[in-house]
Amino acid sequence: MKRRHFINRALWFSLGVGLSSCGQPELASPDGDGKASSGDGESLKVWWQEGFYPEESDAIREIAAQWEKGSGKKVDLTLIAQKDMIGQIENALSAKTLPDVCYTGVGDLAVFPRMAWNGQLVDVSDVLKPLEKFYDPEALRGVRYKNNVTGDRSYFAVPIMQSGIHIHYWKKLLVDSGQSDSAIPKDWRGFWKFWENAQAPLQQTAGSDIYSIGMPMSKSLDTYNNFEQFLEAYNVEILSEDGDLQLDQPAVRKGLGAALQDYARFYQGGFVPPDAIDWDNTGNNVSLLSRKSLMTVNHTLSAPGSQRKDEEVYFNQLSTVPWPSKPDGQPMRHTIELKQVVVFSQSPQQDAAKDFLAYLAQPDNLQAYTQGAKARYLPVMPQLLEDKFWKDQKDAHVQVALQQLQNSRPSFQVFNPAYGEVAAQNIWGGIMRGIAMEELSIEDATERAVQEISAIFAAWE
């Protein structure tokens, strides 16, 4: 898998849930009635994941309003909580009542690659091709899915933002443990040992209920994403770039076992809060921000982003640190989540839907949306990084996150949509919780992972 070089390229111009039956969720809509509107048959029906911050939701409302003015067409925009989105899509798919346009933050992991494979998404090449010169090529690569109905690989989604896996910590708590930023090792073993060693002195000064590493061990999306980064650390390529499963290779199995052991040992060694086995997708953020964890690993910049209004906390108390080198000494390569918007093939208004996406993907609009998200996610167009919002060298959170984009790879779902079912079923979260509950040894966990993933892929053949 080739490396990507993002920031230095000169261009003119930025889960824990599965696809199982769910009850009809209550939705948050723009008019505040809490129900999803069915639309009037003429309005463009848009389902959008509710923003993590109010400004994020405000940004998509404004973009929709501006498109309405230009197009003369009404947008029926419904905001839906992330936890409800997959169930809502599945219910609508069965009832053939899908919207025209949809964005969900878990779409790239568990939904859209599979729907593209099944012919349930519209090819949006005519939206993206005029904009190709503005996009980072790797962002475009991440939405080239295969349609098994036609046998074609093409653009089936419009990328709007992206993120890596980040490490955050409290500066003062680190000082209270007798350490400093400058002492953080850059090698894998030294790095994690550093945080482990901080716990005992920290508990003496800050109390016995604080732990050094906020690593989720539950069936949350964070567990899945964090462990994917550990797989990369151990060079575990479960899939080839051709999408072939490689779990039968001894080196892959060995690396998988090593990654499982390394991730689980933090909990087994008592360095992770005991309730991490039950965390939802906010658990690690809550643990960090309530100062029950010295550091945490998270797949967006949401933890520091939530503190932006308090400049003292954001700039001086919380910090983001680069990942260490891999255990074999190689530079870390970062797994990337690519947030994307799709048009469903059931849409009776595909032309209008694609026109809306073409407007949304204009650089100024993507800039407004990513900034409305308070840099939880990063731009997919290099030109957008020229804005002072992204160039503030004082902002260590954003600068470290941007550095990660220079050496990264797409998620395995891009190579084979069957891997999306690994995310949908949250194989890694289930296995980690099994290890934490002492139901699985590392050997049994490795074998279970091989069997469960192999079964998923066999069902796709």
407 with 436, same domain?
no
Closest Cα partner for 232 from 331, 166, 302?
331
pLDDT digits (tens, 9 = 90+) for 43-64: 999 999 999 889 899 999 999 9
In a domain, 128, yes or no: yes
Q: How far is CA 356 from CA 102, 244, 350, in A?
A: 11, 36, 10
How many CB atoms lie under 10 A from the CB of residue 309? 8
Q: Give the mean model confidence (pLDDT) for residues 417-427.
A: 93
In a domain, 235, yes or no: yes
Q: Give the mean model confidence (pLDDT) for residues 311-325.
A: 96
Give the H/E segment covering residue 360.
helix 350-360
In a domain, 328, yes or no: no
pLDDT band at 110 (very low <50, low <70, confident <90, very high): confident
In a domain, 10, yes or no: no
Q: Give the mean model confidence (pLDDT) for residues 132-140.
A: 93
How many CB atoms lie under 10 A from the CB of residue 247? 17
State the pLDDT at residue 441. 97
368 with 351, same domain?
yes
Sign, CA torsion 427/442/411/48: positive
284 with 374, same domain?
no
Is pLDDT of 34 > 90?
no
Tokens (6 digits) for 155 = 């653009």
- Between strands 166-170 and 318-321, the pairing is antiparallel
192 with 276, same domain?
yes
Looking at residue 447, which CATH number applies to its domain? 3.40.190.10
Q: Give the mean model confidence (pLDDT) for residues 294-301.
A: 94
Question: How many Å apart are CA 335 and CA 327, to the nearest integer?
Answer: 16
Domain that residue 230 falls in:
166-322+426-460
pLDDT digits (tens, 9 = 90+) for 438-451: 999 999 999 999 99
Question: How many Å apart are CA 304 and CA 288, to the nearest integer?
Answer: 10
Residue 29 · residue 37 · CB < 8 Å? yes
Is pLDDT of 82 > 90?
no
In a domain, 5, yes or no: no
In a domain, 71, yes or no: yes
pLDDT band at 461 (very low <50, low <70, confident <90, very high): low
190 with 305, same domain?
yes
pLDDT band at 36 (very low <50, low <70, confident <90, very high): very low
Is pLDDT of 168 > 50?
yes
Closest Cα partner for 313 from 255, 397, 384, 387?
397
Is pLDDT of 25 > 50?
no
Is pLDDT of 2 > 70?
no
The fraction of the chain above a pLDDT of 70, given in percent, is: 91
State the pLDDT at residue 208. 93
pLDDT digits (tens, 9 = 90+) for 399-420: 999 999 888 888 899 889 999 9
Question: How many Å apart are CA 272 and CA 154, to the nearest integer?
Answer: 43
In a domain, 21, yes or no: no
82 with 183, same domain?
no
201 with 228, same domain?
yes
137 with 176, same domain?
no
Is pLDDT of 65 > 80?
yes
Tokens (6 digits) for 152 = 């074609």
Q: Give the mean model confidence (pLDDT) for residues 190-194.
A: 98
Helix boundaries (H) for 48-187: 54-71, 82-95, 112-117, 125-128, 137-141, 171-176
Residue 378 · residue 161 · CB < 8 Å? yes
- Between strands 75-80 and 101-103, the pairing is unpaired
Question: How many Å apart are CA 314 and CA 30, to the nearest integer?
Answer: 31
315 with 436, same domain?
yes
**Quick one: how far is CA 155 from the chain centroid?**
20
Backbone dihedral region for residue 361 (phi beyond 0: left; psi -120 to 50: alpha; all else: beta): alpha
Residue 250: exposure state from Cβ atoms within 10 A (0-12, 13-18, ≥19): exposed
Phi then psi for residue 191, to 5 deg, are -60, -55
Closest Cα partner for 294 from 205, 199, 152?
199
Question: How many Å apart are CA 454 and CA 80, to the nearest integer?
Answer: 33
Domain count, the chain: 2
pLDDT band at 23 (very low <50, low <70, confident <90, very high): very low
80 with 93, same domain?
yes
201 with 277, same domain?
yes
242 with 187, same domain?
yes
Q: In what order do the strands lie in the sheet with 293-298?
A: 211-214, 293-298, 166-170, 318-321
State the pLDDT at residue 152. 87
In a domain, 1, yes or no: no
How many CB atoms lie under 10 A from the CB of residue 33? 10
State the pLDDT at residue 410. 86
What is the average pLDDT value for the chain, to the nearest integer? 89
Q: Is residue 218 classed as helix, strand or coil in its secondary structure?
A: coil
Q: Regarding predicted confidence, which is higher, 137 or 13?
A: 137
